[in-house]
Amino acid sequence: MPSWMKWSGKMKKIKDFEKNERMVIPLLINEVKNGTTSKGSPYLTVTLQDNTGMIDGKFWDVKPADLEKIHAGEVENITCEVIEYNKNLQLRINHIEPVPEGQKIDYYEYVASSSLPEKVRRERLENYIGSMDNEIYGKLVRGMLEKVGEHYFSYPAASKIHHNFIGGLSEHSLSMAEMAEVIADHYPQLNRDLLIAGALIHDVGKTMEMSGPVTTEYTLQGKLEGHISLANGWLTEVENELGLADTEEAILLHHMILSHHGHYEFGSPVLPMIQEAEVLYIIDNLDARLNTLKKAMESIKPGEWTPKLFALDNRQFYKPKG
């Protein structure tokens, strides 16, 4: 367990909040945005989270002294009331105060993490690499994983939308590898090793694109280069170190990384031009969308509709009663 994670005991969770509740509760401040009312009074929109979800809060008539106490990325005590706005729960914040010095904080209580234990993810990764008949793909994948080290198992796969939790990158990649296995078995014309290699390393550039597993933000290098370019550059370094730069396997794996977003407007510098790249794009999109839907469905009851989901064309989805 990382040194910054300490046990702090049980507490009420965001998923269990109910309208009209009043409370003082420690929550992780994810984001703070300044605003001004029509009458010129300052206010804050504060996004708060724990390991069950996020909730927005409004802090009206905020004073300069309040601003000095509010820090994104830290757990602070929130004095608030739960209200309903546009059919969604929201907090009316009355006061924010730093957690007393010396009080232990368990960040696992505030940051969602993979449902798969890290040990299981490590074992599955090793099994996939060890099952490759083509040794070149195995060497290239291992070389790429050495570039990112432990970050592969702790980083999220995105900052806000899908698999945005501790371990999300490896969970997403292994989920795709599992789908790749099934699809390659069903369509024997596919190169199974290439498809699994692409699934395992296509997103490793996110370990430099994003700042870390807690209240992650995009880094300067991430914004200016993007995870696709970063991973593609790392693969060049790995193949040169291993003497594999002239192999067709290295060229094809470059293409898998460069094309996995499927469209120019989605960030891919090239479009999929081999079967495996087309499949990688499809399963990447499928896994991301279903994770987004899973998270949205967990926050509502049967017979209700999700909020509009930006990542899914701003559509709402219904949760059946049966």
Give the residue-averaged pLDDT of 19-24.
93
> pLDDT above 90 covers what percent of the chain?
68
Say whether both 214 and 180 belong to one domain: yes
Say whether both 134 and 282 belong to one domain: yes
Choosing from 61, 78, 109, the residue where a domain stops is 109
Report pLDDT digits (tens) over 108-146: 788 777 888 899 999 999 999 999 999 999 999 999 999
Q: Residue 212: pLDDT band by 50, 70, 90 thresholds?
A: confident
User: What pTM was estimated for this model as a whole?
Assistant: 0.77
308 in any annotated domain: no
Say whether both 200 and 240 belong to one domain: yes
Spatial distance between the Cα atoms of 76 and 30, rounded to a whole number of angstroms: 11
* DSSP helix/strand/coil, 154: helix
Spatial distance between the Cα atoms of 114 and 122, rounded to a whole number of angstroms: 13
Spatial distance between the Cα atoms of 201 and 290, rounded to a whole number of angstroms: 20
Question: Among 10-24, 80-94, 99-113, 117-131, which is the least confidently predicted range?
Answer: 99-113
pLDDT of residue 6: 39
Residue 9 has pLDDT above 60, yes or no: no
* DSSP helix/strand/coil, 231: helix
Q: Residue 101's domain is classified under what CATH number?
A: 2.40.50.140
Residue 303 CA to chain centroid, in angstroms? Answer: 28
* DSSP helix/strand/coil, 57: strand
316 in any annotated domain: no
What's the total number of domains in the chain?
A: 2
Could you tell me which residue, 86 or 107, shows the higher pLDDT?
86
Q: Residue 278's domain is classified under what CATH number?
A: 1.10.3210
Q: Could you list the residue range(s) of the whole structural domain that residue 138 is in? A: 118-296
304 in any annotated domain: no
Give the residue-averaged pLDDT of 60-69.
87
